[in-house]
Chains A and B, each alone.
Chain A
Amino acid sequence: MNLTLTYCWKEWRAQRGLLVAYTLLVFTCLCLGLYLAPRHYWFDEGFGVHALSWFVAAGCIGVIAFAVPNLVRAEFTSKDDQFVRRLPGALRPAFSGKLLFLVLVTAALPLLGLLFGELLVTARDSNWDGLFFWDWQGNVSMQRPFVVLAMAAPMLLLPWIWTVGMWLPGGRLALLGTTLLLLLLGVGLFAVMRQYPKIEQGVVWQSWLWTVPLTGLFAAAASWIKGRRGGGPLRSARHGMLALLIVLLPGAVWVGERVWRYRHPDMENLGAMSVVGMSPGGRYALAYVVEDCDWQAALARIDLETGVAQQVTEVGEHLGPLLAAPHRLRTRAAQRYWRGVEGSEDYILDLTSGERHTIELDREQRAVMPPRLATAISQQRTGDSGLSAPGGIRVRCGEGKLFFEMPNGTVEHVDYPFPTDRSSYVAGHGLRVMADGGWRYYGFAQRLIRDVRDAQTALFVGAKILVRVKGKSIRRSGEANRASWVIYHEDGEGEPCEALRNAVVAGLLDDERVLAYVEGAHREALRIFAFNTATGETQDVELPSVAGRSASPWTLRGFVSPMRQTGSVLPRDPANHVWLSCYRGGDTHCFRLHAESLEASGVPVTINMFGNTLLAWDNLPKVVHQDGLEIIETNIETGARRTLFSGAKQNGQ
């Protein structure tokens, strides 16, 4: 302790001139400046707090810019430090003396600033009550002056400034060197954060700030005590860097582990999952998986027979069913082939076999596939496309064409009516695409693009077009939908459709009937009915009451289909039922509606927008659906559930 005090005295003796001069000069200037500054209401209001904060900040600057770099200024080259190195015991007491001086000066200068500030505030007959304020509930909170807060970061870095000063030929470069070191570490850290967006989410970094000065002291001790033993700044730098690496190692390991988890999500401990595809036959599911909800997702292939999931893409990469469903039409529930890009490599993933086929691109950037793969994809395209024209004509698209498969087995084709780079949407027996600032429609029956001006929306029903000409797409709460519909016949004559007044059309039940509903002021479905465009008749649907739930009207969320599949007519299960998703308050329920008889019944499966998706209904009465982090098979007759895959953390793990 005696030697520590001796070295501490030496530091004071070395620096006292500079520190006293700085203190007197800066504090006097601040006093004068604040005393002479003109009084304005904004300046006078919180004067006490501001004055004190500036004095404290001036004290902090004195520590950061002068006291700490000067700790090593007299000993910065290998010759200069020989005096201290050849003294008995040399470097340990010298280090502890410097540390003691650092602690004392770090406390003393800001406190001295506080004292000067208080004297000034008192002299000006002011106070620093503004440091605290009371809200109308009587809670007291502290106003943290930004000047002092701005000093907090460099004050945490004091030991690092000292350390870097030992590494460089001249303590004057300590501040610059620390800034560069900080930038270097920051660049590394930001590179990781940029590569893995939101990887920092959930980390309470504030609670780890204490490690910054502590690790700095460790590096300083290594640089001085070990580094200066038989060497100069270079040896100090080597030892300090080694110490820095040692202290960074746990952090680097932690970041590395987090990066690993980011890149390779633990399939049994997922934070979120979203199934985006099913293979034909329903054995394999393709799902975005992620361990933390804020992170980027990777795609995994899940075997629903074994419950094993395997990651198939890097995080942030995507697979699209574009080959099988061109123009972004989601008319198929199951897709076997998925196209992706990894780096500069295009490939196709066979979801059924798990194989990955690399593909080449021709000059026009079209995929050139191996013949066997091309045949398989072509066969998948010629299967049920979900598109149809009235009269049992199946419609499919691909290769820039629309194909019409006639009931007699002949196939006709026309060029695809819209630019192929635009997303197409189903509009009953037709398609629509956004172009030239509005929707453009193409009817399969007419095989023509129809210009439906002033239409809010429209859909083809056989050779007719049902056009909504009035009504808001987005309604304010409490305002009923005052929709008006016009039906245009084959000859082009239009007439108002009174049966659909104020109604929303959900889609086609068959070649002639549409399913529609009328909403109340709060979007509740006051009436659900089928409208026959040929006869003008309507038939009401009655949703059954659900045991234990109120009888107030349900709000119709929309129709339900596996993987949100669409089609010319509303998608239906093998038993010819259209599924409807309804909610009432926080209560969600599913109903099956027979497409012919319109008889409705409840389904014990919850489908909503929040991770509960219907995946497959091919094996009725069993359906497969996603329920949060699980994929479940439910028997809709008995209600029995079987977990096919679980990404949730198991109990006891």
Chain B
Amino acid sequence: MNDVVTLSGLGVRYGRKRVLDGLSLSLAPGQVTVLLGQNGTGKSTLMRVLLGVMRPREGTVRMFGLDPLQHHRDVLQRVGYVPDVPDVYPWMNAKDLFKFLAPQYPTWNKGRCRKLCKQLDVPMKTRFKAMSRGQGMKTMLVAALSSEPDLLLLDEPFAGLDALVREEVLQGVLGALKDGDREITVLCATHELDIAARIADRVAVLQDGKLHQHGTLAEVLGEEEPAQVPSGLQQMLATAAQHEEVSV
């Protein structure tokens, strides 16, 4: 089966700083991969590369077998994206946003949009500049899921949300994964391991711009020698392991 995303030897720099360094990663269809890593390890940069917003300096990117920079429309019509912060024009409200996005996605599902809006209690007439962070994130999630994407990219969507809203958003994501016959591939960047434990099929650990580990959460936890793991990540993994035990 063809992988949805194939990254090979990906290198990105900001000036002299190397953010991604020879990153190679494949996402199989229908899998939920959680991208783990501390702040500044290149998770958001990887998302930007996948969205065709940033041009990598080295390596190749293939999404659905296509280069997202060359075939931007063909690729991005099949991708849903939720940023870490709502980046929509501040004067827009949810109604404007959906009206603006609908013609851009041939697969836009108005019914699903309405359903999700109702489910997540999205304020339709509030401008983004007046929305709370939680309201904004829920609106962005609805916008990302309404196009019925084959690939869902989540860039730390739960960061900074209060527990209730966080759970609402998470339920929205999980609901989308279960909803319908379509197989959705998800790449979720986060540093919250409890989220990873709840949704991840596979975990990719980014460290210093390189793919440090890639496998199931159990594989990652089993392979890692505690002494070799950076202290922050070690703590994160330990927290995740506890959460997994609780969940099991």
Chains A and B form a bound pair: yes
- Chain A interface (Cβ within 8 Å of chain B)? 2-3, 6, 9-10, 13-14, 74, 79-80, 82-83, 85-90, 229-231
8 contacting pairs across A/B (C-beta < 8 A): A6-B103, A13-B92, A74-B90, A86-B51, A86-B53, A86-B81, A89-B76, A90-B52
Quote the shortest CB–CB distance from A215 to chain B (angstroms).
Answer: 27
Closest Cβ of chain B to A170, distance in Å, is 15
Q: Which residues on B sit within 8 Å (CB–CB) of A86?
A: 51-53, 76, 81
Decide: B104 and A6 in contact? CB cutoff 8 A: yes
A88 touching B77 in the complex, CB below 8 Å, given contacts A3-B104, A6-B100: yes
Q: Smallest CB-CB separation from B91: which chain A residue? A: A14
- Are B52 and A87 in contact (CB-based, < 8 A)? no
B49 closest partner in A (C-beta): A230
Q: Please, which residues of chain A bring their CB within 8 A of the CB of B103?
A: 2-3, 6
B72 close to A88 (CB less than 8 A): yes
A88 to B74, CA, bound (A): 7
Structural contact, A90 and B89, CB atoms closer than 8 A? no
Residues of A within 8 A of B87 (CB): 79-80, 82-83
- Number of A-B residue pairs, CB cutoff 8 Å, is 63
**A85 partner residues in chain B, CB cutoff 8 A:** 51-53
Q: Is there contact, CB below 8 Å, between A88 and B105?
A: yes
The yes or no answer to B48 lying at the interface (CB within 8 A) is yes
Task: Across the interface, name the chain B residue whose C-beta is closest to A85.
Answer: B53
Contact with A along B81-100 (1 / 0, CB 8 A): 10100011111100010001
Residue contact B91 to A229, C-beta cutoff 8 Å: no
A15 — nearest CB in chain B belongs to which residue? B91
Please encode chain B, from 32 to 64, with 1 for each CB lying within 8 Å of some chain A CB and 0 for all others: 000000000000000010011111000000000
Q: Which residues of B contact A82 (CB under 8 A)?
A: 48, 51, 53, 83, 87
Q: Which of B53, B76, B92 contacts A230 (CB 8 A)?
A: B53
Cα of A230 to Cα of B104 in the assembled complex, Å: 20
Expressed in whole angstroms, the Cα–Cα distance for A83 and B144 within the complex equals 12
Nearest first, the 10 closest Cβ-Cβ pairs linking A and B are A230-B55, A89-B73, A88-B76, A86-B51, A88-B77, A88-B73, A83-B87, A6-B103, A85-B53, A74-B89
Residue of B nearest to A230 (CB): B55
Chain B contact residues (Cβ within 8 angstroms of A): what range? 20 to 34
Assess whether B76 is in contact with A229, with CB atoms less than 8 Å apart.
Answer: no
Q: In the complex, how many angstroms separate the beta carbon of B243 from the nearest chain A beta carbon?
A: 32
Least distance between B94 CB and chain A CB atoms (Å): 14
CB nearest neighbor in A for B48? A82
Q: How far is the CA of A13 from the CA of B97 in the complex (A)?
A: 11
Interface residues of B (CB under 8 A from A): 48, 51-55, 69, 72-77, 81, 83, 87-92, 96, 100-101, 103-105
How many Å lie between the Cα of A114 and that of B87 in the bound state? 39
> Which residues of chain B are near A9, meaning CB under 8 Å?
100
CB distance from B139 to the nearest CB of A (A): 13
Chain B residues closer than 8 Å to A87, beta-carbon distance: 76, 101, 104
Minimal Cβ-Cβ distance residue in B for A7: B100
Inter-chain contacts of A230 with B (CB < 8 A): 52-55, 69
Q: A86-B52, A86-B81 are in contact. List 4 more A-B contacts (CB 8 A).
A: A82-B83, A82-B87, A230-B69, A231-B55
Q: Give A84's nearest chain B residue, CB to CB.
A: B89
Kindly state the separation between the CA atoms of A3 and B105 in the bound complex, as whole angstroms: 10
Contacts of A231 in B (CB 8 A): 55
Q: Provide the bound-state CA to CA distance between A169 and B106, in Å.
A: 34
Known A-B contacts A86-B51, A86-B81; A14 and B105 likewise in contact (beta carbons under 8 Å): no
Q: Is the CB of A83 within 8 A of B88?
A: yes
Are A14 and B81 interface neighbours, CB within 8 A? no
Chain B nearest CB, measured from A96 CB (Å): 14
Please, how many angstroms separate the alpha-carbon atoms of A13 and B88 in the complex?
A: 14
Min CB–CB distance B148 → chain A (angstroms): 14
Question: How far is it, in angstroms, between the C-alpha of A14 and the C-alpha of B48 when the chains are bound?
Answer: 25
Please, which residues of chain B bring their CB within 8 A of the CB of A80?
87
| Contact residues in A for B73 (Cβ distance below 8 Å) | 88-90
Residues of B within 8 A of A13 (CB): 91-92, 96
Which residue among B51, B76, B104 has the maximum number of chain A CB atoms within 10 Å of its CB?
B104
A89 near B53: Cβ-Cβ < 8 Å: no
Among residues of B, the one whose C-beta sits closest to the C-beta of A5 is B103
Q: How far is the CB of A496 from chain B (nearest CB, A)?
A: 99
Query: Which residues of the partner chain A approach B91 to less than 8 Å between Cβ atoms?
Result: 13-14, 74
Contact across chains for A89 and B72 when beta carbons are under 8 A apart: yes
Shortest beta-carbon distance from B87 to chain A in Å = 5
The residue among A3, A86, A89 with the most chain B CB atoms within 10 A of its own CB is A86
Checking A14, A74, A79, A88 against B104 with a beta-carbon cut-off of 8 angstroms, the contacting residue is A88
Q: Is the CB of B104 within 8 A of A83?
A: no
